[in-house]
Amino acid sequence: MKKNPLLILFIVMFGLAKSFGQHDHNQQAVDQAAPAAEAHSHDHGDHDHTGHDHTGHDHTGHDHTGHDHSHDQPAMGQAAPEHSATAHAAGGHHEEFKADASAFHHISDLNVYTIGPWNLPLPCILYAPGKGLSMFSSGKFGIDNAHHGTGHKAVDGYVLYKGRVLRVADPSFPQGELEISDIVSKEITTEKGEKKDKEFLIYNGQELPLDKSSTADGGLFGGGITSFYDFSVTRNVAAMLLVTAFLAWIFFGMAKRYKQAPGTAPTGMQKLFEPLILFIQDEVAKPFIGAKYEQFMPLLLSLFFFILGLNLFGQIPFFGGANVTGNLAFTAVLAIIVFFVVNFNGNKHYWEHVFWMPGIPAWIKVLITPIEILGVFIKPLTLALRLFANITAGHIVIIIFVSLIFIFGKAGENPGAAWGASPASVILALFISAIELLVAFIQAYVFTLLTASYIGAATEEHHHAEAEHH
Amino acid sequence: MNLLYFIPLLDFSVIKPDFGLLAWSTLIFLIFWFGIGKLAFKSIIKALNDRASDIQSALDSAKKTREEMANMKAENEKILAEAREEKARIIKEAKEAGNQIIAEAREKSKEDAQRILVNAKNEIENAKKAAMVDIKNQVGVMALDIADKVIRKELSTQQPQQEYVKKLVDEIKFN
């Protein structure tokens, strides 16, 4: 709700980006009729407009360009006759900049840790059924810092494309390390008639389809089970480990001080964290859970500080920009844990209210019971979605505002406009950043508060005499 | 089926939960919860609550002390008032006693004076009686003397003798 004006702004920017891109591209389409053969050329050498600005690194050769362009380019359609799709947006040095694609790239999980222009390697733990486990550093893929985390080597049939590990679906692909020439992204049409992007490895003049890692959405959001599973220590996992280590250092240090010097005035970190801890205890746990609050305090504080820590960590510019709390996998895990805690602690009254609400006519009970049973699952689901959507939206809006510079500058063609757009971009991004700091706290608080209220509803001792009167 | 028709080409990967991230998130959060949560947070909360109750009891005892002080003050005032009353009573009693003593003394002195007076009167009376006896004796002696003299003189005339006796007796006056 509170994001409404931001969302409108976001949509306006999105539209601006689209129209600028469209215009740019149409012009390009006229210009580039010839270089069909080099259409996919993503030679690692020819990227001089490096994207080490952390926000700009998506204006690369093989971007996910809009599907509507394909019809403008009959010349390029012949480049890959074996596919029903067309390769797009290649050729010259100044490709179209797409703010939406850039944003989606930045919020996604990666197998490299990006600090400023550097892509630091992370451990890869990959499992492909029938092949087994492969463990190696993502540095083995040969990442050049200026290349947005695309590696120039294949390792055991795996390649690194824009920071993500992909697998050559063909099991006959040679194992071990070998140089690869290029990876391209193309729009294809599936058997069901859906258009989607698919990555291909150019190897020995052939285009080999690449699989993304398996996801647990069951194909609902375009993912699903593929030929391998990625259990790597990704950017998000690394961020979680860093935040956990940092918070462990702080809280164990605090606990130690309370033991060593009991009854003394708080100092240092204690001064900062005591009000937060007491806030969760006195304003969240006690009013919502009641007498039994103490047993749930470790969970509530863990949720609050873990979410808050990761929210704030994701806000640090040029320090990985890990979007952990804006990833549905992470928020779903927290929600599932809350689901189990709530329902394992649910007492007789709670289940009675779910399955056979007391104090109302029987025919209404028949209507209410399915709703209540659904509610048991919807409550944690909303927890997961709320946190995910808020944090992701914040990240996207900031990236879009920063992208204004590239949108106006047309990816380097128009530096004057880029300079002109910079102040507005900086001010808007700064403004949203400030709001995001607030959102980081609010979302951590809301998650904890709602968890407490669900636990409170499940453990509350109802007074039926009263309930029946109201 | 793809729910994201509005962005079919873009890889909106954050909505696709990766198995690796699910596994790592679960593991790390459980470590956080059972490590930091159960160890650090529990002792921090305990320390905070202990301190809160310490402060509360300190405040309570301060309040109690204040109340006690107030009570004590009231009691002191009461004692003081009582002491004052006692003082007044004692003074009053002392005054009364003094007055009584004075009255008694006065009474006694009056009685004494009376007694002394009576004694003195008695003594005077006695002395008078003694004097009377003495006088009578003297008078007798004198009478004898006179008689003696008279007799000596009488021997010449009767009339002038009687007159003379009478004159002598008159001379003896009782004061």
The DSSP output letter for A115 is E
Query: What confidence score (pLDDT) does residue A127 get?
Result: 92
Same domain, A314 and A427: yes
Nearest C-alpha in A relative to B26: A333
For residue A201, pLDDT over 70 is answered with: yes
A134 neighbors A140 (Cβ within 8 angstroms): no
Cβ under 8 Å to B: A residues 12-51: none
Cα distances (angstroms) measured from residue B19 to each of A59, B98, B100 = 29, 112, 115
pLDDT number for residue A399: 87
Is the domain of A256 the same as that of A194? no
Q: A340 and A213 share a domain?
A: no
Q: What is the pLDDT of residue A360?
A: 83
Nearest residue on chain B to A213, alpha-carbon basis: B18
At residue B10, the pLDDT reads: 63
Question: What 3-state DSSP class applies to A164?
Answer: strand
At A67, is the pLDDT very low, low, confident or very high (cuts 50, 70, 90)? very low
Query: With contacts defined as CB-CB under 8 Å, which chain B residues touch A263?
Result: 50-51, 54
Does A334 sit within 8 Å of B20, measured CB to CB?
no
- Residues of B within 8 A of A197 (CB-CB) are 9-11
- Chain A residues in contact with B8 (beta carbon < 8 A): 67, 194-196, 222
Residue A405 has pLDDT above 90, yes or no: no
Cα gap A73→A101, rounded to integer Å: 21
Q: Could you report the per-residue pLDDT of B50-83, keeping only the tens digit for each?
A: 888 989 999 999 999 999 999 999 999 999 999 9
The ipTM estimated for the assembled molecules is 0.77
Q: Does A301 contact B at CB distance below 8 Å?
A: yes
Residue B88 in this model has a pLDDT that exceeds 90: yes
Q: Which has more pLDDT, B144 or A125?
A: A125
Q: Which of A203, A233, A263 is the last residue of a domain?
A: A233
For residue A314, give the 3-state DSSP assignment: helix
Highest mean pLDDT among A32-41, A149-158, B99-108: B99-108
Distance CA A147, CA A140 (A): 15
pLDDT score recorded for residue A441: 95
Instruction: Provide the pLDDT for residue A95.
Output: 55
* Strand-pair category, A195-203 with A182-189: antiparallel
- DSSP reduced 3-state for B98: helix
Rounded to an integer, the average pLDDT of B123-133 is 84
- Chain B neighbors of A135, CB-CB under 8 A: none
| One domain for residues A228 and A331 | no
Q: Tell me which residue range forms the domain holding A385.
A: 237-469
Q: Which of A173, A198, A233 is a domain's end point?
A: A233
Q: Please indicate, yes or no, whether residues A164 and A306 belong to a single structural domain of this protein.
A: no
One-letter amino acid at B60 equals D
pLDDT at A81 over 50: no
Highest mean pLDDT pick, A48-62, A129-143, A179-193: A129-143
Most confident stretch, A48-57, A245-254, B133-142: A245-254
Instruction: Looking at the structure, tell me whether residues A167 and A195 fall in a common domain.
Output: yes
On whether the CB atoms of residues A188 and A84 are closer than 8 A, the answer is yes
Select the more confidently predicted residue: A119 or A236.
A236
pLDDT at B74: 94
Average pLDDT, chain A: 77
Tell me which residues of chain A, numbers 323 to 362, contact chain B at a CB-CB cutoff of 8 Å: 323, 326-330, 332-334, 337
Looking at A212, A233, A254, the residue that finishes a domain is A233
Give the pLDDT band of residue A246 (cuts 50, 70, 90). very high
- Smallest Cβ–Cβ distance between A297 and the set B1, B17, B45 belongs to B45
My answer on whether A226 and A241 are in the same domain is: no
Q: Determine the pLDDT at residue A87.
A: 37
Quick one: average pLDDT of A59-84?
Answer: 36
- Report the Cα B109 to chain-centroid distance in Å: 33
Please count the other Cβ atoms lying within 10 Å of the Cβ belonging to residue B169.
Answer: 12
Which helix or strand (DSSP H or E) is residue B83 part of?
helix B42-154
pLDDT for residue B144: 80
Does residue A174 share a domain with residue A246? no
Q: In A7-163, at which residue ranges do the beta strands (DSSP E only) sit?
A: 112-115, 118-121, 123-128, 132-137, 153-155, 158-161
pLDDT for B9 beyond 70: no
| Residue entry with tokens 């400023």 | A116
- Portion 10-49 of B in contact with A at CB < 8 A: 10-26, 28-33, 35-45, 47-48
Highest mean pLDDT among A6-20, A195-209, A410-424: A195-209
Domain total of chain A: 2
* Nearest to A417, CA basis, from A106, A16, A5: A16
**A408 and A340 within one domain:** yes
Structure tokens at A82: 């074996």
Helix (H) or strand (E) run with residue A299 in it: helix A293-315
For residue A182, the surrounding DSSP H or E stretch is strand A182-189
Number of H-type helices and E-type strands within chain A: 12, 12
Cβ within 8 Å of residue A109, ≥6 positions away: A164, A234, A235, A236, A323, A327, B13, B14, B18, B21
Looking at beta carbons, which residues of chain B come within 8 Å of A388?
14-15
Report CA-CA distances (Å) from A56 to A52, A64, A67, A114, A407.
7, 15, 22, 13, 10
Residue A6: pLDDT above 60? no
Entry pTM: 0.70
Whether A31 and A150 map to the same domain: the answer is yes
Local structure of residue A190 (DSSP, 8 states): -
pLDDT at site B174: 61
A322 lies in the same domain as A187: no
Q: At what angle do helices A235-260 and A293-315 cross, to 10 degrees?
A: 130
**pLDDT of A69 strictly over 60:** no
CA distance B41 to B64: 34
Shortest CB distance from B14 goes to which of A263, A281, A326? Answer: A326
Spatial distance between the Cα atoms of A321 and A54, rounded to a whole number of angstroms? 9
Instruction: Specify the pLDDT at position A463.
Output: 58
The yes-or-no verdict on residue A23 having pLDDT over 50 is no
pLDDT exceeds cutoff 70 at A15: no
Name the residue with higher pLDDT: A124 or A119.
A124
- Give pLDDT tens digits for A418-468: 888 888 889 999 999 999 999 999 999 999 999 999 999 999 876 554 444
In this complex, the residue of B10, B31, B36 whose CB is nearest that of residue A104 is B10
Beta-carbon contacts of A216 under 8 Å, excluding residues fewer than 6 positions away, are A223, A329, B16, B17, B18, B19, B22
Contact A241 B28 (CB under 8 A): yes
- Read off the pLDDT of residues A306-365 as tens digits, 9 standing for 90 and up: 999 999 999 888 887 788 999 999 999 999 999 999 999 988 888 888 888 888 888 888
Nearest one of A109, A108, A147, A105 to A233, comparing CA atoms: A109
Do A286 and A423 share a domain, yes or no? yes
Helix (H) or strand (E) holding A229: strand A229-230
